[in-house]
Structure 1
Amino acid sequence: MTLENPNLEGYNIVRNLWIKYYKKSAGNFIAPEKCSGCYNNEKFVVWAVSVAVQSVVDGARIYKELVPLIDPAIDTFQRYKNPHLKGFSAAENNGSDKDIYYDDDAQVCSAMLTAYEVTGNLKYLDQGRELTRFLMGGWNDNPNAKNKGGMKWHLNNAYLNTCTTAETAKCCLQIAKFIPNEEKVYLDFAIKCTDWLVNTLQDPSDKLFWDGIQDTSDKHNDAKWSYNAGTPLSCAAHLYHYTKDEKWKKIATDIAKSAINRNSIIYDRDYDMDKRYWRDSSYFVQLLIEGLADYMLYIGNEDGLADDITEEIKRHLVMFYEYMRDPNDGLYIQSFEPHRTYRDVYDKKYKPKFGDRKGWSLKDEDKSGDKPMKCLMGCGSAARVFFQGARVVPKID
């Protein structure tokens, strides 16, 4: 089998993950056995649930037979909610838990707002509005902080990071057009977040973003992840669409160029140029692909990147399909690295193409003992890789 229709592949993943993980009697996603993303033997953290729910909603935009799954999918979030704070905890709770991560909640919020886009059901907009307002309350306004501004990572931890700040800005940009009398509030906050990112955490040498900085620290965490290119790219491209300010187009184009530069740090550079690939797990890469798709939507070929972006997304979709898909159930492990796959795939596909420079292994998050193991977030991320990629590459010849 070969990959021809990325949207159809995404649909098949959503269908299979729903059958495998969603339990109507529990009103939530349940693991058949403990796997990555579980906080006990069977229940998933809200981050994993948010990615899976977003994949359902993405699929329903294309395949209307998935629309009936949206309501039970969105309803799963209520088991994680602290109704007093209006945020969502990492684990199911009785309504009082404060283990709340703003970046997780931003992904929950984005799923709610996308559900409104797809269905027009105002209850999803109401839920998304309430959660957007909660997120905006996570802005670091401590006057005594060494590093001011930026979004806090956790309710009780002012680690100011790229993912939370960009994802919150993205939610503000999603909701702004739906509530005209509040539009300026959300747009201004998105601008404040994105300006802070560019001024504080963007590396001027390559235009990628460092992970974050503690509000009391003198030094940033210099790790660079693919999703920390993708979500700021979504924001900058969307802001250009909103404001027509050339500043945002330049910022978006600089990020996009680095995101598809095979010499950049977000690639595995242990190979010749034609074999280099984004090295992060699929739950990060899906947001990078979304950012590139947003760039194509809002900016297109204004700066001449369309062909290169299209080619880069296409070859990654094909590689992901060929190396990470389990033909037995049509589901995916989380790895995006072709040597960290099923043993028979390594022997039959990886070695003939890449050689044996890297030995076979599985990532810890993709195995139980020595056996491959899939999980909810990996399957949801895989579906999103294909749905978001299909926005740029709808067919593969």
Structure 2
Amino acid sequence: MILIHAIYLSYFLAAVLGAPIGQGFNPYSAFDDAFNATWSTFWNWGQQGWTGSSCPGDAFAPPALWDSAVAGGAAVATKNPWLAQQVTTQLLRYKNAETGGYSATTAGDKDMYTDDNAQVIWVYIDAYGYTGNSDYLQEAQNILSFIKSQWVSNGGGVKWSYTGDYIASISNAEAALAALKIYEYSHDDSDLEFAKTSINWLADNLEDPSDHLFYDGKTISSGAVNKGKLSYTVGVAISAYAYLYKFENDSKWLQKANVLVNASAKGTGVLYAANGYWNNQLKYLNLLFSGLADFANISPNSIDQWKTQQSVVQEINRQAKFIYSYYQDGTSGTYFDDISTAPQNVYAKYAASFSTSESSSPASSCSNGATKLSLLTQGSAARIFYDVWRA
């Protein structure tokens, strides 16, 4: 931990680096601890890349692309150019040379997913934003070209996988947001139009009018709709609408964002568990936090809008405090997906605070007795606290 602080402390002289332990929840301090735990646990210095196992002595095992992208996003959030270089270089190991897209694994084959590739774009663009390294912007644009090629010509929508028969709501939302993040720097109108086409297709084809959340997706060949609903799709859509409002100053985008915020962050609804908190696993929640943080940073056009944004800030702080208090293993900055996978001592703390019928089946242990951790969960926790801080 000391080493990582030494690497990037100089980049945060103006930032709030966290309150002393025991002084309460501070989102930047929580981000700092979670990222340091992520780096010290999962970065393999010998291989210069993330490894999928947290257990000491385990062989190097490259994680899935999604995991690497989420952890990479936490790394670039530190605003440290050296860390940005490390994690973007590591991501290149997943690249498929023929298509320019990124594979789900370091095999670099054609097992490729649009949402994975969109998240890789976000890493490159966030790194470009503070380094000005044009290589990052160019690689993001190259990946976007691959994503655009996934548009289904007959009926529309962005395919979820390269060779698949499914259009996922998350692939359309993330494709739109990736194009918008690039547009902020490229000012290429074709990127803006692609983003609008993608997000409009999502709203027109997969939105449930009863609650305005999105169905998971539909099969291309049959048209059958999977009506599952996940928090990360609505979070990314909120981000996309926030960016569109920023670029076009058109109230229709703000209205769409407000509808989704009301559907996902009002304290009740399909995304909430009986305990009053969001019901998705921690590893998937970071995108909802990101969307609501983007919404909170919209320039308000009225007092009522400002009040709505302040209520969002309060809600994501409440949700983050819950994660910090009940999904963390002590004060070490390590986190578990949900209470069902937490060690017994963590579960006991939760059970003492909530009336619950849940039980805990802790994740498997390493040979030294330590509980196995997840890179995706760790990266997601770090991103959550960073997004709460920037909101």
TM bracket (short chain): 0.7 to 0.9
Among residues 83, 91, 98, which one is paired with 2:105 in the alignment? 91
Structure 2 unaligned runs (5+)?
A: 1-21
Which residue of the partner structure matches residue 89 of structure 2?
A: 75
Q: CA deviation at 1:299?
A: 4.8
- For residues 102 and 339 of structure 1, the distance between their equivalents in structure 2, rounded to whole angstroms, comes to 30
Answer yes or no: is 1:199 the counterpart of 2:211: no
- For residues 199 and 356 of structure 1, the distance between their equivalents in structure 2, rounded to whole angstroms, comes to 39
Provide Cα deviations, 1:77-125, integer angstroms capped at 9, x if missing partner.
11111111101111112x5x11111111111111111110121111111
Answer yes or no: is 1:345 the counterpart of 2:346: yes
Q: Percent identity?
A: 29
CA contact (8 A) 1:293 1:389 kept: yes
Alignment of 1:89-238 (within 5 A): 89-93=103-107, 95=108, 97-141=109-153, 143=154, 148-180=155-187, 183-238=188-243
- For residues 211 and 367 of structure 1, the distance between their equivalents in structure 2, rounded to whole angstroms, comes to 30
Q: CA deviation at 1:323?
A: 1.0
TM-aligned CA distance change 1:233 to 1:328, over 3 Å = closer
CA contact (8 A) 1:229 1:255 kept: yes
- For residues 216 and 267 of structure 1, the distance between their equivalents in structure 2, rounded to whole angstroms, comes to 33
CA contact (8 A) 1:150 1:193 kept: yes
- For residues 368 and 217 of structure 1, the distance between their equivalents in structure 2, rounded to whole angstroms, comes to 44
Which residue of the partner structure matches residue 262 of structure 1?
A: 267
Flag as ranges the 4+ runs of structure 1 deviating above 6 A. none
- For residues 123 and 163 of structure 1, the distance between their equivalents in structure 2, rounded to whole angstroms, comes to 27
Aligned residue type for 2:314 = E
Aligned residue type for 2:295 = Y
- For residues 56 and 33 of structure 1, the distance between their equivalents in structure 2, rounded to whole angstroms, comes to 17
- For residues 365 and 152 of structure 2, the distance between their equivalents in structure 1, rounded to whole angstroms, comes to 40
Aligned residue type for 2:192 = L
Q: What count of residue pairs does the alignment treat as equivalent? A: 364
CA contact (8 A) 1:13 1:330 kept: yes
Provide Cα deviations, 1:268-295, integer angstroms capped at 9, x if missing partner.
1x2xxxx411111123211001101111
Structure 1 unaligned runs (5+)?
A: 61-65, 393-397
Q: CA deviation at 1:327?
A: 2.6
- For residues 68 and 277 of structure 2, the distance between their equivalents in structure 1, rounded to whole angstroms, comes to 27
CA contact (8 A) 2:96 2:110 kept: yes
TM-aligned CA distance change 1:218 to 1:68, over 3 Å = closer
Alpha carbon RMSD of aligned pairs, Å?
2.2
Q: CA deviation at 1:41?
A: 7.2
Q: CA deviation at 1:306?
A: 2.1
Aligned residue type for 1:75 = T
- For residues 2 and 49 of structure 1, the distance between their equivalents in structure 2, rounded to whole angstroms, comes to 32
TM-aligned CA distance change 1:339 to 1:33, over 3 Å = closer
Provide Cα deviations, 1:240-262, integer angstroms capped at 9, x if missing partner.
12112222111110000011122
User: Scaled by the length of structure 1, what TM-score is found?
Assistant: 0.86
- For residues 231 and 139 of structure 2, the distance between their equivalents in structure 1, rounded to whole angstroms, comes to 29
Give the match's secondary structure for 2:166. Answer: strand
Give the match's secondary structure for 2:297. Answer: helix
Answer yes or no: is 1:44 the counterpart of 2:49: no
Which residue of the partner structure matches residue 336 of structure 2?
A: 333
Q: CA deviation at 1:70?
A: 1.1
- For residues 233 and 8 of structure 1, the distance between their equivalents in structure 2, rounded to whole angstroms, comes to 26
Which residue of the partner structure matches residue 395 of structure 1?
A: none
Provide Cα deviations, 1:280-315, integer angstroms capped at 9, x if missing partner.
112321100110111111254653412321221111
Aligned residue type for 2:281 = S
Among residues 74, 78, 89, which one is paired with 1:55 in the alignment? 74
Which residue of the partner structure matches residue 7 of structure 2?
A: none
Aligned residue type for 1:178 = Y
More strand by share: 1
Which residue of the partner structure matches residue 383 of structure 2?
A: 384
Q: CA deviation at 1:218?
A: 3.5
User: Scaled by the length of structure 2, what TM-score is found?
Assistant: 0.87
- For residues 287 and 371 of structure 1, the distance between their equivalents in structure 2, rounded to whole angstroms, comes to 29
Q: CA deviation at 1:19?
A: 1.8
- For residues 299 and 255 of structure 1, the distance between their equivalents in structure 2, rounded to whole angstroms, comes to 17
- For residues 130 and 304 of structure 2, the distance between their equivalents in structure 1, rounded to whole angstroms, comes to 28
